[in-house]
């Protein structure tokens, strides 16, 4: 078993980096571990601390089942309890085991809950939450009303007749006509029914409606439930049957293992313009001699087809499409397809906006994480579910960090137009030359630096480079 050490120069207890390294080597000797590598945080760090990012990259390039990350204490993973716990869960989501030299046991649910219970005095956030909870007790609507309702007099939910009909229709199709969520989305889209924002229905939007207890006439917010606060759209018996069917379809309660796809966020469907998303399929069969066999297949598929049952069945094997993209990128370079750089600030302004958007998404994931912990402390979420949900949120944040890391590096480029074009050309050539050798995260970041979009049809792949 190999060990990766992670230290920071401002570690708990004020120990120097040399002392931390000695403690790491002593620990490896006692536990029979091979000291493989160490990663150091030279400064106070933040959500994208370079030492931690290097550790993550090394874990992704390793067999994490054979790796343990050793830290002086769990608190050394971050500059605050929140950062430390979140990074602990990110390492766990990558499949690594974390060992703290100063602790007999790893961080668990109790430590996560203790982090949230840290008092913050009478902060503005606490006062706002208290005021909103008082409104919720009165049944007053907070935030956006669910589909089928609007905010009416006395800030109570009132029906929107044309939307209420669609909600009842969805419940009837699922419960009485036994249609699946994907087929319901297709039916609504084929009939020209739109969401509140005028878009197509997806599996997610249908499932959210089927799970929403607001359609029972009960308003729920901040742990407060107000039965009979507004007109119901479904009976309690029908709602219960729907939940039973939804729960029965869950065949596996194991945490999902994130599968990374190189072209995520870049490849788009050439027919509808939506993104191509990575999907995996497992297939099992028996050979003629009776020996069981299995294999996993990776594809890119149009998100409109996957989640909304619109568009066609435009599915490409992941390895084949990625190789086609590599060939198309090489051909673009050979034909002199690098565009001239723009002298204006439009590109840099868009990069700055992208960084802001990604930071907002990162904050939203952290709020989701905090919400899980708050739900446990208030008895609204089983402690057994906390670790699974929190680890999933941490994995999502890790993916956003990858995008944010690349976006911030792009936004820091202030070279002249000619220099930017030259650097981009060198970057593309580097990606092509080292395509097979580069670690996944570095290869994906290089593609995002160079490529604006990849348009995919059944018989063509077009690569558009960034200006």
Q: Are residues 40 and 138 in the same domain?
A: no
Report for 157-166, 221-230, 262-271, 293-302: range of highest mean pLDDT? 157-166
Quote the pTM value: 0.41
Q: Which structural domain, as residue segments, surrounds residue 83?
A: 2-107
Does some domain include residue 304?
Answer: no
Instruction: Count how many domains the chain has.
Output: 3
Q: Are residues 458 and 335 in the same domain?
A: yes
User: What's residue 252's pLDDT?
Assistant: 47
Q: How confident is the model over 342-369, as a mean pLDDT?
A: 76
User: What's residue 337's pLDDT?
Assistant: 61
Does some domain include residue 262?
Answer: no
Q: Give the end of a domain, one of 203, 223, 248.
A: 248
Q: Are residues 347 and 221 in the same domain?
A: no
Q: Give the end of a domain, one of 198, 227, 248.
A: 248
Q: Are residues 147 and 231 in the same domain?
A: yes
Q: Give the end of a domain, one of 194, 216, 248.
A: 248
Q: Are residues 98 and 182 in the same domain?
A: no
Residue 191: CATH number of its domain = 3.90.1750.20
Whether the CA torsion 232, 236, 242, 246 is positive or negative: it is positive
For 392-413, how does the pLDDT look when each residue is reduced to its tens digit (9 = 90+)?
A: 888 888 888 888 888 777 766 5
Q: Are residues 422 and 326 in the same domain?
A: yes
Does some domain include residue 298?
Answer: no
Question: What's the CA gap between 373 and 113, in Å, rounded?
Answer: 6
For 434-459, how does the pLDDT look when each residue is reduced to its tens digit (9 = 90+)?
A: 888 878 877 888 888 888 889 999 88
Confidence of residue 224 (pLDDT cuts 50, 70, 90): low
Q: How confident is the model over 346-370, as a mean pLDDT?
A: 80
More confident residue, 50 or 110: 50
- Record the tokens describing residue 162, joined without a space: 């044309």
Least trusted range by pLDDT, from 178-187, 197-206, 407-416, 436-445? 407-416
Least trusted range by pLDDT, from 182-186, 194-198, 235-239, 311-315? 311-315
- Record the tokens describing residue 374, joined without a space: 């708050």
Does some domain include residue 223?
Answer: yes
Does some domain include residue 287?
Answer: no
Q: How confident is the model over 172-196, as a mean pLDDT?
A: 91
Q: Are residues 43 and 137 in the same domain?
A: no
Question: What's the CA gap between 76 and 83, in Å, rounded?
Answer: 10
């Amino acid at each position: 078993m190999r060990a990766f050490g992670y230290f920071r120069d401002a570690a708990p207890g004020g120990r120097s980096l040399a002392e931390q390294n000695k403690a790491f080597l002593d620990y490896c000797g006692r536990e029979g571990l091979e000291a493989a590598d160490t990663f150091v945080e030279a400064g106070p760090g933040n959500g994208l601390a370079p030492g931690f990012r290097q550790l993550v990259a090394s874990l992704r390039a390793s067999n994490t089942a054979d790796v343990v990350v050793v830290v002086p204490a769990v608190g050394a993973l971050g500059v605050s309890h929140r950062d430390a716990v979140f990074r602990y869960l990110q390492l766990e989501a990558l499949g690594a085991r974390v060992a703290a030299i100063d602790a007999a046991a790893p961080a668990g649910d109790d430590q996560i809950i203790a982090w949230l219970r840290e008092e913050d005095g009478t902060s503005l956030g606490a006062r706002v939450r208290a005021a909103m909870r008082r409104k919720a007790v009165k049944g007053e609507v907070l935030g956006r009303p669910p589909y089928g309702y609007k905010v009416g007099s006395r800030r109570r939910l009132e029906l929107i007749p044309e939307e209420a009909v669609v909600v009842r229709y969805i419940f009837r199709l699922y419960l009485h006509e036994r249609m699946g969520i994907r087929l319901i989305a297709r039916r609504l889209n084929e009939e020209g029914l739109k969401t509140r924002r005028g878009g197509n229905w997806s599996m997610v939007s249908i499932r959210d409606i089927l799970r929403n207890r607001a359609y029972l006439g009960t308003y729920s917010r901040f742990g407060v439930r107000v039965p009979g606060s507004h007109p119901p759209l479904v009976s309690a018996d029908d709602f219960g049957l729907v939940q039973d069917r939804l729960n029965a379809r869950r065949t596996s309660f194991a945490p999902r293992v994130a599968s990374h796809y190189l072209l995520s966020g870049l490849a788009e469907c050439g027919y509808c313009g939506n993104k191509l998303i990575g999907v995996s399929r497992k297939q099992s069969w028996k050979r003629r001699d009776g020996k069981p066999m299995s294999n996993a297949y990776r594809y890119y598929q149009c998100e409109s087809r996957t989640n909304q049952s619109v568009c066609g069945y435009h599915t490409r094997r992941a390895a084949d499409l990625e190789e086609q993209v590599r060939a198309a990128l090489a051909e673009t370079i050979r034909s002199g397809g690098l565009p001239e750089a723009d002298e204006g600030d439009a590109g840099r302004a868009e990069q700055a906006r992208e960084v802001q958007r990604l930071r907002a998404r990162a904050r939203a994931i952290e709020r989701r994480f905090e919400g899980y912990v708050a739900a446990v402390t208030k008895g609204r979420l089983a402690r057994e579910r906390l670790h699974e949900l929190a680890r999933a949120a941490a994995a999502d944040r890790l993916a956003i960090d990858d995008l944010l890391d690349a976006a911030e590096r792009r936004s820091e480029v202030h070279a002249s137009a000619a220099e930017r074009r030259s650097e981009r050309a060198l970057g593309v050539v580097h990606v092509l030359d080292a395509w097979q050798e580069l670690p996944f995260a570095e290869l994906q970041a290089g593609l995002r630096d160079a490529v604006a979009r990849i348009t995919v049809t059944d018989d063509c792949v077009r690569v558009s480079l960034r200006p």
